[in-house]
Amino acid sequence: MENLLEIKNLHARIGDKEILKGINLVIKPGEVHAIMGRNGSGKSTLSAVLAGNSNYEVTEGSVTYLGQDLLKMSPEERSWAGLFLGFQYPVEIPGVTNVNFMKTAVNEHRRQKNLPPLSAAEYLKMMREKMAYVEMDPSFSSRGVNVGFSGGEKKRNEIFQMAMLSPRLAILDETDSGLDVDALRIVANGVNRLKTADNAFVVITHYQRLLDYIVPDVVHVLYKGKIVKTAGKELAAEVEAHGYEEFE
């Protein structure tokens, strides 16, 4: 089967600081990958680079997404092509309501596919359906994007947005951080409902906790900007039990 994503020898830096030092990773449709690592190992940098955050500079290597050079695409082009990043720290946008934000996003996606924009009623129906995935109260739609949301609500909002855009490849950057067990279960259920044979997920996390709910096919350990170990789901339990010391 065609690779969804292929990362070869990826190096990236922010300012003078090199953070990614040669990442190699292949993701196929239908797979769930977990990337584990300590703070500062480069997990968030990897997701930011894949989403096209211009604060990071790629100095070497390549990323191919569905046969295209991902690194040449703008953040919005990546989104249109089916890439989604669930932010570790979702951004608050005061004054832009959730409904206006997602409606604009959904309709921009449709415009790229030469589809007419959704009518208000069609959008509302879709929104209510996807909000139910993450047990989100419809009243959130009229609030400013992430403004005044609790940590758990912000993460649910990320998964809701993912459901609305139904991406081919979703990267979830520490979606579990700051969540209590109930919120964790809700978020994980949302992800599991969206899983198909055609799409793939990269779950970035510190802990095994989330991986009890979203079961990965492959687990990678990231250490100092490199993937130092790749194995099956049992690796997560091993990391949880022994920490990251053995990789030092």
Partner 1 sequence: MEGFRYIPKKQLFDCSVPLTGARKLFVWDGVPEGLPFESVSDLDCAVDFGISTRVERIRYAPKETASAPKATVIVPKEEEITQVISVRVSPSPLSERTVIDCPSEGKYNVVLCSHTVGQERFSTKGRIEIHVAKGASLDLVVMQNENSLSRHESDYRIRLEEESSLSLNIVTLHAGNVTNRIHSLIAGKKATCNLNGLYLADGQQIVDTDVVLVHNAEESVSRQLFKGILDGNSKSRFEGEVVVSPAAQKTEAYQANNNLLISESARASSDPHLVIYADDVKCSHGSTAGSVGDEELFYMRSRGISEKEARILQQQAFAGTVLEKVAHPELRERLSRLVEKRLRGEDTLCAGCSKRCC
Q: Does residue 87 belong to the site contacting partner 1 (CB under 8 A)? A: yes
- CB within 8 Å of 191: residues ≥ 6 apart: 159, 162, 170, 172, 201, 203, 214
User: Per rule CB under 8 A, is residue 78 in the interface with partner 1?
Assistant: yes
| CA 3 from centre of chain | 18
Residue 35, strand partner residues: 204, 220
CB-based contact 20:45 (threshold 8 Å)? yes
Q: What distances in angstroms separate CA 32 from CA 1, 110, 157, 191, 233, one per listed residue?
A: 15, 27, 21, 11, 10
**Which of 14, 26, 96, 126 lies at the binding interface for partner 1 (CB under 8 A)?**
96
In the block, tokens 């990789």 appear at 247
Q: Check binding of 52 to partner 1 (CB under 8 A).
A: yes
114: contact with partner 1 by CB under 8 A? no
The residue within the footprint of partner 1, chosen from 95, 121, 234, 245 (CB under 8 A), is 95
**Residue from 9, 59, 68, 112 that binds partner 1 (CB under 8 A)?**
112
Indicate the residue type of 180.
D
What is the C-alpha separation between 101 and 125, in angstroms, rounded?
16
Question: Least Å distance between CB 83 and partner 1?
Answer: 8
Q: How far is the CB of 54 from partner 1 (least distance, A)?
A: 8
# chain residues binding partner 1, by CB under 8 A: 30
Residue 190 in contact with partner 1, rule: CB under 8 A: no
Segment 135 to 174, residues that bind partner 1, using CB under 8 A = 144, 161, 165
Q: Does 12 bind partner 1 (CB under 8 A)?
A: no
User: Beta strands 200-205 and 169-173: pairing type?
Assistant: parallel
User: Pick from 42, 90, 190, 225: which binds partner 1 (CB under 8 A)?
Assistant: 90
- Kindly state whether residue 74 participates in binding partner 1, applying the rule CB under 8 A: yes
- CA 120 and chain centroid, separation: 28
Q: Which residues bind partner 1 (CB under 8 A)?
A: 51-54, 74-76, 78-80, 84-85, 87, 90-91, 93-96, 100-102, 104-105, 108-109, 112, 144, 161, 165
